[in-house]
């Protein structure tokens, strides 16, 4: 089934769905403009705005459900943005609304959590302003009804991420990480921009409702657009997606991004922003489905990243970096799914939503742990925390089980779906995904054992305690989601059929068969991973200082030498180039200009010596001149 | 056979010009200039004869008068500078240069 | 009512008044008042302006000035001129407010005390000339303003600038003068060859037919504009001038004066010499693209804030020239909008940098650090200005840059792609500068670096407001620009862009 | 030839200005001879002014009465449009310069006295003044009038000498730095005489070729074919040398810097403005009227000379450190710009354009120059004027108005719009372009870009540099001097903003071109 047509609508809540963007934006504006005056109640305003957006989203969702399938793509045109090019318009359809719910829902929970987490931070008001700004931008991104507005949101979240990663600007590492994140993202944006240009020059429009699969196929068949063009569009979009979603080769920024406060890592760098790439690919399905090559590349990138992330996750002692690696890996799964057409879309989105919950859950859990351990992040200094902070531990454990795909928890359904679909497309990719799952089992278990079990390896001044309820309640809510969402979304393809109007529906819906070969293999591998982790980190003694480790370990610790590569390939040559350019500009071009001036000056200095001051030499010059003139005239005259 | 006169006048003019270039004493230099003027006079009268009209000869008279005036001025100036510098060499006067 | 003449006359009279009043304080206030009056008048002008009007130039006034040379005092505005005049009218009061103490010799690293009155008088004279140069509909009148503008700016740089001021001022003047004189030859030749006995721009359109002549005249005009804009490789005067000029003057120099160059390309090169323009397009586009990348890379390598900003502008002027010579609707409109936006955004950057330098007395990036901690407002405005410099969506500069790029892509994809890489480089130079100056451990106790005071907030506030407003809602401005640009592009007689999927054209509205 | 000589007819009315000036000059001499010393000045000064003023009025009247269609005084003097215009300029500029001369401190008390000798001190103490200056000036001006309007080469030669001889003397009369002044005088004299010899020999050869020195007759002869081209060409060349020397075209410019620097500034002002005007009048007459037929022969040479002159003037000026010397080089450059107008000769209409352009340029440049030198007279040291540029540093601080005006003059020289200089350049260059001399114009603009550098340099010194500790004092200007500066500034502004009236006047003057 093809996606439904978009129909313009402005009634009911959907008509005012722009409030979803406006409310948080307003919140951010107020908090930033009125500054210190709002310090006392700023965080509350932030939460309120986020909850308001959530309310609108839910209402819109309900209204959407009330409509017949064919009308479930509602466009809301606000105003002409760039005359002749793009409108400021929103698109409320199953896809965007699912994201909206995730963003506002998880976002609100994290807002609430932050009240507690940032309570001692002087910049809390600013923090909430940025969070609101992020929510607004993210919603604009997913609700946009054309690529230009999407790009506005796209960069908006980039900005928010920049501000939040660098929230503690006085930490040079944080500032550097923020800059790195933004610049790497810009590389992706470069691709996205070119993609938009190509789309515009090919189709004369950037609006989603003009760029349906039908339009694309029509363009190809009529020869208006070559297959190559469409493939190019796909790959360029993918480049953009890689930037946002920290997929290879633009993954390097995500691990550094952990410099930001933990709620930020949870919201932006786990639950929502980093999944924007997946959204982009799914939203642009029309192009990818018409360009198999592009699709293949998407899946390859996905698999490569999911392995890379998993491997990195294995070697990290910093709990947040460990989680970051896992995020990379999970998004890899989503990418893989997004590269597999309508079936994959559904699983990808399902995994995305589930991941949003359990990863946010675990990040916040980690935050709670850090909160308890005076911001210690090194898991080698944790251990045996289970007993002192039960809620945190329990919720974290639920997230853990969910992510490793423990049967009947969220991850089990969603990840399995992706693996199954991948198998159908391409055995190799499928099996690699399975391996990835196994590694996941290992590194996540490692994290859990090092943190909550084994001997206490705390610093002497550490007096861990359970976090306040303002922090634990969100944890609980999120863990509930982590448990049930997967089953809810996957069983009898609920999400797939819901999304159908937006992304289309495959001819034959996939059934759910838990005892397939890949499924069982996955479980087995995960089990192996868990057990191995138990022996390495649960039962055995964990040294407080990291051992040198094998080559593979170092390889993983160094983020697979991603940074080293960037440094060698881009940073150093770039700096060298800049220095050379400056030199060239000063000595070369400007040197030419000044040299010319100096040259004239020098000539003048020498020439004026002719003016000897001797009257007789003057007379000579006159006579000489006369002779020349005579000669010249005779020459000309007798020509 | 007026050509000889023209050649002569050309010669005189050249001699005068060369003199201006080679001699140092202001008076002599100035005399050379006068020589040039008189070369012109010679040319004028010669051409007057060639052309068969009187203009040239009249011009010659004018030139003499002008030359006389020039002498007056010139000598005045040269004497003035001689009194200050105690020298009439034109090469000594080169404070103004470059 | 002769709107434009009034707009030109008011600042001139104001300048006279300013130079006559007794106290410096009074002079400043008077200058500010006058500039505000001009702003109000411009507002009225913009209000009365009819974008859809049939006539090419509105509020037109034409009087014979020098019949002997066919020179008229001819002024009038179309959309392009209007927005640029508006730009000047908005910037001048802001600059006056921002330079309140620039001439008093207070502040760290201030040049020796100079006449305050003169400074503000010069500012007003400059404003008059800026308005005049954009309003001129007579080529000769345009040239007169074009050259005369140099003098006040020359004195502002030379007497109120930094340590290297006289070198910078002379370099600026001579460089521009050289370009201007070449243009003078072209102007003369244009008059002689056209043989119309007039310099009125509308009557000269399409008069020069012979391709060779067109090429030579184009060259004459273009070099002058390329020096003014400045385009690579004629740019080296700008960093010196901008770095040495007082912040206020730098704003007007980069924000408005240089626009005369790109404005001239759009108005005169394209319309008077369409064929030559088409002939030279490849060359110009190469220069522009080189400028974009080159300027950005050199900016990355700068150690001096003002020089860095100057180089970013060189990169941006590359974008504008690219848009002008892509000769598509979108690119042309984008370039025009870019002229305006760049004025505001670079203006903002220079002013904040100026505030910083006023506090610390050094423009060396290395001398700063951790400002954000002690002066968050200052850092915040700096960041916003910077983000507009890297044309972040949601800020005005994005719209124009996007339009330029997409419009260029319509006709010259490769150039557009290379130019787009400037987007990445922009992020590098801006954010790196921000990181080095504003973040990290702060280099001194808070009292050394006070946060923005109210005057400075009133300077930055309007700028940022405009930048954000035009970032989300550029339509009003674009509606003024578009008709004028369409006229210009259509006079070049180049087939308009149509998307590959023709029947889908104009969709997405 | 029946032996009867009919008396020559003299159109006194037409020649009145010249006659008046000469008459006044002679009266001046008599005054010197008979009036008591302490009265002389108070007689000479008004006499001179009145004579020049009267001359101007008469010139204007001539203009109003309409132009004659034939030369006056048996074809010796052509009082035509250009002549009247040039006369007007010369007389006004001379009048203005006289106001400068009026300033005692300029001139030596007693030229005969040896510098630093007791009798000089005594002369100064007893307040002697070399009042011969005034008649000398009048003679010189009279000479200029004749020189610019002479319609045959003899009259022109006489005019040349009558103009030059008094100037030779005037150059030597500076009160301060007398050695320089005398040196300038002697150099100017020797070289002047030398060059006029060339002029004269050229005349002789042309006479030999054409059988007449009457311009009309010469041009008539050129039309009919004949042998002996060489004679003509050499004559033309030497004649040209004599004239080009006067306008200071390269390679005959060597005298200009030295003389301008050495001479009393008031005299420099007079020379820089009026002599240039008169000389160009003569040049135009000779080359357009008499030798117009040879256009294709002399044009290329003139091109070369024009280019050389512009370049040399601009380039050598850059490194000058003496203000008057710098202005001298700048005037060389300007002579070059004017020459581009001279080569713009062509069809009648074209000639009208070019001629009026040159006339306008001369007027504009003359005023600005006088003004500039007037300012120079006011910036003084213990030892007279502070000529060295370094002394001008920071003048903008100590005398903002004066420095401002001077800067304005410099900008006018540089040809910045809204100054008279700009329109002068524009007019000449556009004439040149119309006359197919585009390359010349390009050289012109390039060299004026170079020239701009040293004008700007002075502005930098005055405004952007800190004043020297013992900077020069600014002499409280006499009424005369300040009047001159004001007048010149006004002229520079007016001609720069509303040039139309003067342009019209120049057009009228040029409308009938030269009468033959």
* Amino acid C111: pLDDT: 58
A614 and A585, same structural domain?
A: yes
Return the closest-CA partner of residue D145 out of D272, D14, D290, D278.
D278
| Claim to verify: residue A428 and residue A547 sit in the same structural domain | yes
Residue among C392, C416, C472 whose CB faces A155 most closely: C392
> So what's the architecture of B3-85 in CATH?
Orthogonal Bundle (1.10)
As given in the structure block, the two tokens for residue C162 are: 């930094």
Does A220 contact C at CB distance below 8 Å?
no
Percent with pLDDT over 70 in chain A: 99
d(CA C394, CA C406): 17
> Does A388 lie in the same domain as A299?
yes
ipTM: 0.91
Q: Which of the four pLDDT bands, split at 50, 70 and 90, describes residue C508?
A: very low
Kindly write down the DSSP assignment for every residue of D269-324, as one continuous string: HHIIIIIHHHHHHHHHIIIIIISGGGHHHHHHHHHHHHHHHHHHHHHHHHT--BHH
What pTM was computed for the model?
A: 0.92
Q: Going by C-beta distance under 8 Å and a sequence separation of 6 or more, which residues neighbour residue C282?
A: none
Range of the domain at C195: 3-492
Which of D184, D254, D297 to probe by mutation at the A interface, max A CB count within 10 Å? D254
Contacts with A29 (C-beta within 8 Å, 6 or more apart), sequence order: none
* Burial track C149-164 (b if 16+ CB lie within 10 A, e otherwise): bbbbbbbbbbbbbbee
pLDDT of residue A149: 93
Q: Which two tokens stand for residue D2?
A: 């029946």
User: What is the rounded distance in angstroms from the CA atom of residue C324 to the CA atom of residue A94?
Assistant: 43
pLDDT at A343 over 70: yes
Query: D108: distance to nearest CA of chain B, Å?
Result: 13
Tell me how many domains chain D contains: 1
Reading chain D (516 residues) residue by residue, the pLDDT tens digits are 456 777 888 888 889 999 999 999 999 999 998 988 888 888 999 999 999 999 999 999 998 888 777 888 888 899 988 999 999 999 999 999 999 887 767 787 777 777 777 777 777 777 777 788 999 999 999 999 999 999 999 999 999 999 999 999 999 988 888 888 999 999 999 999 999 999 999 999 999 988 889 998 888 888 776 666 888 889 999 999 999 999 999 899 999 999 999 999 999 999 999 999 999 999 999 999 888 888 888 999 999 999 999 999 999 999 999 999 999 999 999 999 999 999 988 888 888 999 999 999 999 999 999 999 999 988 887 777 888 888 888 888 888 899 999 999 999 999 999 999 999 999 999 999 998 899 999 999 999 999 999 999 999 999 888 887 777 777 777 888 899 999 999 999 999 999 999 999 999 888 888 877
Please report the DSSP string for C351-378 in residue order: HHHHHHHHHHS--BGGG---HHHH-HHH
| CB proximity D200 to B under 8 Å | yes
For the record, the structure tokens of D182 come out as 């005398």
A590 and A449 in a common domain: no
Same domain as A160, residue A281: yes
C88 vs C81: CA distance, rounded Å: 11
For residue A420, pLDDT over 50 is answered with yes
Contacts of A275 (CB under 8 A, 6+ apart): A245, A331, A334, A352, A355, A356
Q: Based on the fold, state whether residues A233 and A376 are members of the same structural domain.
A: yes
Q: Which domain holds residue A422?
A: 125-557
Cβ–Cβ under 8 Å, residues A344 and A418 = yes
pLDDT of the residue at C509: 36
- DSSP assignment of D40-78, as one string? HHHHHHHHHHHHHHHHHHHHHHHHHH---SS-BTTTTB-
Q: Which of C189, C328, C179 is nearest to C260 (CA)?
A: C179
Which chain B residues are within 8 Å of A608, Cβ to Cβ? 98
- CB-based contact (8 Å) between A224 and chain C? yes
Question: Which is nearest to A192 in space by CA: A162, A215, A158?
Answer: A158
Q: Are residues A341 and A487 in the same domain?
A: yes
Q: Give φ, ψ of C200 to 5 degrees.
A: -60, 125
Residue A175 tokens read as 């500032």
φ/ψ (deg, to 5) at C74? -115, 115
Instruction: Give the tokens for residue D112.
Output: 């005969």
In whole angstroms, what separates CA D160 from the centre of its chain? 12
D441 neighbourhood in chain C, CB within 8 Å:
185, 188
Long-range pairs for C108-115: beta carbons < 8 A, 24 or more residues apart:
C108/C357, C108/C358, C108/C359, C108/C360, C108/C361, C108/C362, C109/C162, C109/C357, C109/C360, C109/C361, C109/C362, C110/C358, C110/C361, C111/C159, C111/C160, C111/C161, C111/C162, C111/C165, C112/D466, C114/C159, C114/C160, C115/D400
Q: Is residue D5 part of a domain?
A: no
Residues from chain A that touch C294, judged by Cβ atoms under 8 A, are 581, 585
**Domain finish residue from A529, A557, A585:** A557
Question: How far apart are alpha carbons A195 and C453 in whole angstroms?
Answer: 45
Q: Does B1 touch chain A (CB under 8 A)?
A: no
Relative to beta strand A74-82, strand A7-8 is: parallel
CB within 8 Å: C185 and D411: no
Are the C-beta atoms of residues A461 and A387 closer than 8 Å to each other? no
pLDDT confidence bin for C350, thresholds 50/70/90 = very high
* pLDDT at res. C381: 93
The tally of CA atoms less than 13 A away on the side-chain side of residue D203 is: 32
Quote the CA–CA distance of A206 and A290 in Å, as a whole number: 17
Comparing A1 with A25, the larger pLDDT belongs to A25
Q: How confident is the model over C19-47, as pLDDT tens digits?
A: 999 888 899 999 999 999 999 999 999 99
- In sequence order, which residues have a C-beta less than 8 Å from that of residue C464 and are 6 or more positions away? C348, C381, C384, C385
Q: Are A593 and A518 in a shared domain?
A: no
Rounded to the nearest 10 degrees, the angle between the axes of helix D295-318 and helix D323-342 is: 160
Helices A94-117, A494-503: crossing angle, 10 deg rounding = 120
Across the range A396-413, mean pLDDT stands at 88
- A476 half-sphere exposure, CB direction, 13 A CA radius: 9
Pick from D400, D448, D460: CB nearest C166: D460
Q: Where residue C109 falls among pLDDT bands split at 50, 70, 90?
A: low
* 3 state SS of C417: helix
| Domains: count for chain A | 2
Is C506 a residue whose pLDDT tops 50? no
pLDDT tens sequence across A141-157:
999 989 999 999 999 99
Residues 6+ apart with CB under 8 A from A60: A13, A14, A17, A20, A92, A97, A100
Residue at token pair 């600038």: C161
d(C-alpha C311, C-alpha C428), whole Å? 13
pLDDT of residue A535: 86
Question: Do residues C428 and C300 make contact, with C-beta atoms less than 8 angstroms apart?
Answer: yes
Domain boundary pick from A557, A587, A611: A557
Residues written for chain D: 516
Percent share of chain C, pLDDT over 90: 71
Flag if B46 and D169 touch (Cβ within 8 Å).
no
Same domain membership, residue A362 and residue A291: yes
Q: How far is CA A141 from CA A48, A91, A103, A214, A339, in A?
A: 21, 10, 11, 24, 20
Contact C191 D456 (CB under 8 A): no
Contact D190 A619 (CB under 8 A): yes
Residue D413 in any domain: the answer is yes
Band of residue A335 on the pLDDT scale cut at 50, 70, 90: very high
Give dist(CA D332, CA D249) in Å, integer: 6
Is there a domain that residue D36 lies in? yes
**How many separate domains does chain C show?**
1
Q: Please report the pLDDT score of residue D38 as a whole number.
A: 81
pLDDT at C399: 93
Give the separation between CA C232 and CA C215, rounded to whole angstroms: 20
Of A557, A590, A613, at which residue does a domain stop?
A: A557
Packing angle of the helix pair C79-98, C24-48 (nearest 10 deg): 160
Q: How far apart are CA A139 and CA A22, in angstroms?
A: 10
Cβ <8 Å between D197 and B37: yes
Residues 6+ apart with CB under 8 A from A380: A317, A450, A457, A542, A543, A544, A545, A546
Q: Tell me what pLDDT residue C507 has.
A: 41
User: What integer pLDDT is reported at residue C163 of this predicted model?
Assistant: 84
Closest-CA residue in chain B for D194?
B33
How large is the greatest C-alpha to C-alpha distance in chain A, in angstroms? Answer: 117
Cβ pair D96, D484 in contact under 8 A:
yes
Instruction: Flag whether B touches C (3+ CB pairs, 8 A cutoff).
Output: no
pLDDT in tens, C87-100: 999 999 999 999 88
Q: Would residue C509 count as lying in a domain?
A: no
For D174-213, how does the pLDDT look when each residue is reduced to its tens digit (9 = 90+)? 888 888 899 999 999 999 999 999 999 999 999 998 888 9
Residues whose CB falls within 8 Å of the CB of residue A583, separated by 6 or more in sequence, listed in order: none
Q: Each residue of D227-284: pLDDT tens digit?
A: 668 888 899 999 999 999 999 998 999 999 999 999 999 999 999 999 999 999 999 9
- Identify whether C405 is part of a domain: yes
Region C6-27: mean pLDDT is 92
Collapse the DSSP code of C129 into the 3-class scheme (helix H, G, I; strand E, B; otherwise coil) and give the result.
helix
Average pLDDT over chain A, rounded to an integer: 88
CA distance D495 to D501: 9
Question: A152: which chain C residues are within 8 Å (Cβ-Cβ)?
Answer: 393-394, 398
The beta-carbon neighbor of A193 closest among C423, C507, C508 is C423
Q: Which of A629, A631, A632, A635 to mutate to test the interface with D (most CBs of D within 10 A)?
A: A629
Decide if A581 and C398 are in contact by the 8 Å CB cutoff: no
The stretches of C253-395 forming alpha helices (DSSP H) are 258-264, 270-272, 274-300, 305-326, 329-360, 371-374, 376-389
The answer to whether position A296 is within a domain reads yes
Q: Please, which pLDDT band fits residue C504 given cuts at 50, 70 and 90?
A: very low
For D285-419, where are the alpha helices, taking DSSP H only? 295-318, 323-342, 348-378, 395-398, 400-414
The minimum CA-CA distance between A41 and chain D, rounded to whole Å, is: 56
Whether residues C301 and A204 touch (CB distance < 8 A) is answered with: no
**Chains with 3 or more CB pairs under 8 A to chain A:** B, C, D
Q: Is the pLDDT of residue A549 over 80?
A: no
Residue C502 lies in a domain: no
Burial (CB < 10 A; 0-12, 13-18, 19+), residue B57, is middle
pLDDT higher than threshold 60 for residue A199:
yes
**A453 in any annotated domain:** yes
């Amino acid at each position: 089934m093809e996606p439904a047509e978009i129909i313009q609508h402005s009634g009911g809540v959907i008509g005012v769905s722009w409030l979803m963007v406006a409310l948080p934006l307003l919140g951010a504006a107020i908090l930033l403009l009125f500054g210190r005056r709002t310090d006392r109640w700023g965080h509350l305003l932030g939460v309120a705005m986020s909850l308001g957006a959530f309310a609108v989203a839910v209402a819109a969702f309900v209204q959407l459900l009330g409509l017949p399938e064919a009308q479930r793509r509602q466009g809301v045109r606000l105003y002409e943005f760039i005359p002749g090019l793009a409108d400021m318009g929103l698109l409320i359809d199953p896809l965007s609304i699912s994201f909206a719910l995730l963003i506002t829902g998880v976002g609100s929970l994290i807002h609430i959590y932050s009240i507690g987490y940032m309570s001692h931070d002087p910049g809390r008001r600013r923090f909430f302003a940025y969070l609101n700004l992020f929510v607004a931008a993210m919603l604009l991104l997913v609700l946009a009804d054309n690529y230009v507005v999407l790009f506005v949101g796209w960069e908006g979240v980039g900005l928010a991420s920049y501000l939040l990663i660098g929230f503690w600007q006085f930490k040079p590492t944080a500032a550097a990480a923020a800059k790195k994140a933004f610049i790497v993202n810009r590389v992706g944006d470069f691709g996205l921009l070119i993609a938009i240009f190509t789309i515009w020059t090919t189709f004369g429009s950037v609006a989603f409702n003009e760029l349906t699969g039908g339009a694309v196929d029509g363009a190809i068949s009529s020869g208006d657009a070559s297959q190559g063009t469409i493939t190019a569009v796909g790959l360029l979009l993918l480049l953009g997606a890689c930037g946002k979603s920290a997929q290879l080769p633009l993954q390097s920024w995500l691990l550094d991004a952990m410099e930001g406060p933990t709620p930020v890592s949870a919201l932006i760098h786990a639950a929502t922003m980093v999944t924007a790439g997946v959204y982009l690919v799914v939203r642009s399905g029309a192009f990818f489905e018409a360009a198999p090559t592009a699709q293949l590349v998407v899946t390859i990138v996905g698999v490569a990243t999911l392995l890379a992330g998993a491997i990195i996750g294995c070697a990290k002692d910093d709990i947040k970096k460990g989680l970051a690696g896992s995020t990379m890996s999970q998004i890899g799964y989503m990418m893989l799914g997004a590269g597999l057409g309508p079936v994959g879309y559904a699983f990808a989105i399902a995994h995305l939503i589930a991941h949003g919950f359990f990863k946010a859950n675990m990040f916040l859990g980690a935050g709670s742990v850090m909160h308890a351990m005076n911001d210690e992040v090194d898991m080698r200094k944790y251990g045996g925390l289970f007993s002192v902070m039960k809620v945190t531990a329990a919720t974290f454990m639920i997230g853990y089980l969910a992510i490793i795909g423990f049967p009947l928890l969220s991850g089990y359904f969603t990840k399995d779906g992706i693996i199954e679909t991948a198998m159908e497309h391409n055995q190799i990719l499928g099996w690699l995904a399975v391996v990835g799952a196994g590694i996941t089992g290992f590194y996540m278990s490692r994290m859990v054992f090092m943190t909550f079990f084994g001997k206490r390896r705390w610093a002497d001044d550490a007096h861990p305690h359970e976090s306040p309820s303002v922090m634990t309640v969100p944890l609980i809510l999120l863990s509930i989601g982590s448990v049930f969402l997967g089953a809810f979304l996957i069983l009898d393809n609920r999400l797939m059929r819901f999304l159908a109007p937006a992304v289309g529906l495959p001819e034959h819906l996939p059934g759910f068969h838990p005892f397939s070969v890949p499924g069982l293999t996955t479980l087995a591998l995960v089990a192996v991973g868990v057990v191995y982790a138990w022996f390495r980190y649960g039962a055995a003694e964990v040294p407080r200082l990291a051992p040198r480790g094998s080559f593979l370990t170092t390889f993983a610790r160094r983020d697979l030498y991603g940074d080293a590569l960037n440094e060698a390939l881009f940073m150093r040559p770039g700096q060298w180039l800049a220095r050379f350019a400056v030199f060239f500009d000063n000595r070369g071009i400007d040197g030419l200009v000044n040299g010319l001036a100096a040259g004239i000056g020098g000539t003048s200095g020498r020439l004026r010596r002719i003016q000897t001051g001797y009257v007789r030499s003057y007379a000579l010059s006159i006579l000489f001149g006369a002779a020349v003139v005579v000669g010249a005239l005779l020459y000309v005259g007798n020509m | 056979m007026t050509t000889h006169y023209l050649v002569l006048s050309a010669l005189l003019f050249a001699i005068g010009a060369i003199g201006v270039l080679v001699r140092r004493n202001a008076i002599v230099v100035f005399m050379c200039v006068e020589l040039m003027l008189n070369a012109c006079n010679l040319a004028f009268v010669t051409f007057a004869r060639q052309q068969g009209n009187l203009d040239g000869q009249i011009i010659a008279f004018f030139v003499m008068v002008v030359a006389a005036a020039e002498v007056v001025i010139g000598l005045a100036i040269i004497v003035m500078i001689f009194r200050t510098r105690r020298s009439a060499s034109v090469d000594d006067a080169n404070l103004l240069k470059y | 009512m002769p709107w434009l003449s009034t707009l030109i006359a008011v600042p001139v009279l104001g300048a006279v008044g300013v130079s006559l009043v007794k106290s410096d304080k009074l002079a400043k206030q008077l200058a500010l008042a006058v500039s505000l009056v001009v702003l109000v008048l411009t507002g009225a002008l913009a209000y009365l302006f009819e974008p859809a009007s049939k006539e090419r130039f509105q509020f037109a006034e034409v009087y014979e000035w020098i019949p002997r040379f066919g020179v008229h005092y001819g002024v009038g505005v179309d959309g392009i001129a209007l927005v640029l005049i508006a730009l000047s009218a908005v910037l001048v009061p802001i600059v006056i407010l921002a330079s309140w103490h620039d001439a008093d010799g207070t502040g760290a690293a201030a040049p020796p005390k100079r006449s305050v009155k003169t400074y503000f008088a010069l500012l007003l004279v400059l404003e008059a000339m800026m308005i005049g140069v954009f309003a001129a509909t007579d080529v000769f009148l345009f040239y007169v303003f074009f050259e005369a503008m140099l003098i006040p700016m020359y004195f502002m740089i030379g007497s109120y600038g930094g340590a290297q001021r006289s070198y910078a001022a002379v370099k600026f003047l001579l460089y521009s003068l050289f370009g201007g004189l070449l243009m003078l030859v072209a102007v003369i030749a244009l008059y002689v060859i056209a043989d119309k006995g007039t310099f009125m721009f509308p009557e000269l359109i399409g008069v020069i037919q012979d391709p060779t002549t067109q090429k030579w005249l184009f060259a004459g005009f273009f070099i002058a504009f390329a020096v003014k804009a400045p385009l690579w490789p004629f740019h080296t005067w700008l960093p010196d001038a901008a770095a040495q000029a007082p912040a206020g003057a730098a704003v007007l120099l980069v924000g408005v004066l240089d626009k005369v160059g790109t404005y001239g390309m759009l108005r005169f090169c394209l319309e008077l010499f369409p064929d030559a323009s088409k002939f030279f397009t490849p060359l110009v586009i190469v220069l522009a693209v080189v400028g974009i990348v080159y300027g950005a890379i050199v900016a990355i390598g700068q150690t001096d804030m003002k020089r860095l900003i100057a180089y970013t502008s060189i990169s941006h002027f590359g974008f504008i020239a690219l848009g002008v010579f892509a000769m598509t609707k979108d690119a042309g409109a984008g370039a025009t909008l870019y002229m305006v936006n760049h004025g505001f955004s670079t203006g903002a950057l220079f002013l904040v940098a100026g505030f910083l330098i006023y506090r610390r007395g050094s423009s060396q990036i290395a001398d700063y650090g951790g400002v954000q901690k002690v002066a968050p407002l200052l850092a915040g405005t700096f960041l916003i200005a910077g983000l507009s410099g890297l044309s972040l969506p949601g800020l005005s500069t994005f719209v124009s840059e996007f339009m330029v790029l997409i419009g260029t892509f319509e006709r010259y994809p490769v150039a557009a792609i290379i130019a787009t890489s400037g987007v990445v480089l922009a992020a590098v130079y801006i954010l790196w500068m921000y990181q080095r100056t504003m973040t990290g451990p702060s280099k001194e106790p808070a009292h050394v670096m006070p946060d923005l005071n109210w005057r400075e907030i009133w300077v930055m506030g309007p700028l940022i407001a405009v930048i954000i407003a035009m970032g989300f809602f550029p339509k009003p401005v674009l509606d003024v620009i578009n008709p004028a640009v369409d006229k210009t592009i259509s006079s070049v007689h180049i087939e308009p862009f149509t998307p590959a999927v023709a029947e889908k054209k104009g969709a997405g509205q | 030839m029946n032996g009867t000589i009919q008396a020559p007819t003299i159109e006194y009315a037409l020649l009145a200005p010249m006659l008046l000036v000469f008459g006044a000059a002679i009266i001046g001499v008599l005054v010197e001879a008979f009036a008591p010393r302490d009265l002389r000045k108070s007689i000479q000064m008004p006499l001179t002014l009145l004579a020049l003023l009267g001359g101007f009025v008469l010139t204007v009247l001539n203009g109003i009465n309409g132009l004659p269609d034939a030369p006056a005084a048996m074809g010796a003097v052509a009082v035509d449009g250009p002549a009247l215009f040039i006369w007007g300029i010369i007389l006004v500029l001379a009048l203005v310069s006289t106001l400068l001369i009026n300033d005692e401190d300029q001139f030596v008390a007693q030229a005969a006295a040896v510098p630093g000798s007791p009798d000089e001190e005594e002369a100064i103490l007893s307040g002697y003044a070399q009042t011969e200056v005034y008649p000398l000036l009048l003679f010189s001006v009279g000479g200029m009038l004749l020189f610019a309007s002479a319609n045959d080469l003899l009259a022109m030669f006489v005019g040349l000498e009558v103009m030059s001889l008094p100037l030779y003397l005037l150059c030597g009369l500076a009160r301060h730095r007398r050695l320089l002044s005398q040196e300038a005088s002697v150099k100017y004299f020797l070289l002047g005489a030398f060059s006029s010899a060339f002029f004269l020999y050229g005349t002789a050869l042309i006479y030999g070729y054409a059988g007449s020195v009457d311009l009309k007759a010469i041009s008539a002869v050129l039309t009919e074919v004949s042998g002996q081209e060489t004679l003509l060409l050499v004559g033309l060349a030497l004649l040209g040398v004599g004239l080009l020397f006067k306008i200071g075209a390269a390679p005959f410019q060597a005298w200009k810097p030295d003389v301008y620097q050495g001479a009393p500034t008031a005299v420099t002002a007079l020379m820089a403005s009026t002599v240039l005007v008169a000389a160009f009048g003569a040049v135009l007459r000779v080359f357009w009227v008499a030798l117009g037929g040879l256009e294709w022969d002399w044009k290329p040479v003139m091109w070369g000379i024009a280019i050389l002159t512009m370049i040399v003037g601009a380039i050598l000026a850059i490194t000058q450190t003496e203000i008057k010397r710098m202005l001298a080089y700048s005037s060389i450059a300007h002579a070059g710009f004017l020459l581009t107008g001279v080569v713009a000769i062509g069809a009648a209409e074209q000639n009208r354009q070019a001629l009026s352009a040159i006339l306008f340029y001369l007027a504009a440049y003359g005023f600005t120059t006088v003004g500039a030198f007037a300012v120079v007279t006011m910036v003084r040291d213990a030892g007279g004027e502070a000529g060295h540029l370094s002394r001008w540093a920071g003048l903008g601080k100590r005398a903002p108005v004066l420095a401002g005006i001077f800067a304005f003059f410099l900008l006018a020289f540089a040809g910045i719009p809204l100054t008279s200089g700009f329109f002068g350049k524009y007019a000449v260059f556009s004439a040149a372009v119309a006359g197919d001399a585009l390359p010349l114009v390009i050289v012109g603009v390039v060299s004026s870009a170079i020239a701009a550098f040293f004008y700007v340099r002075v502005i930098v010194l005055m405004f952007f540099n800190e004043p020297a500790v013992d900077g020069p004092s600014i002499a409280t200007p006499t009424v005369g001097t300040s009047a001159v500066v004001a007048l010149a500034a006004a002229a520079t502004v007016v001609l720069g903003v509303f040039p139309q009236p003067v342009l019209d006047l120049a057009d009228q003057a040029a409308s009938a071109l030269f009468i033959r």
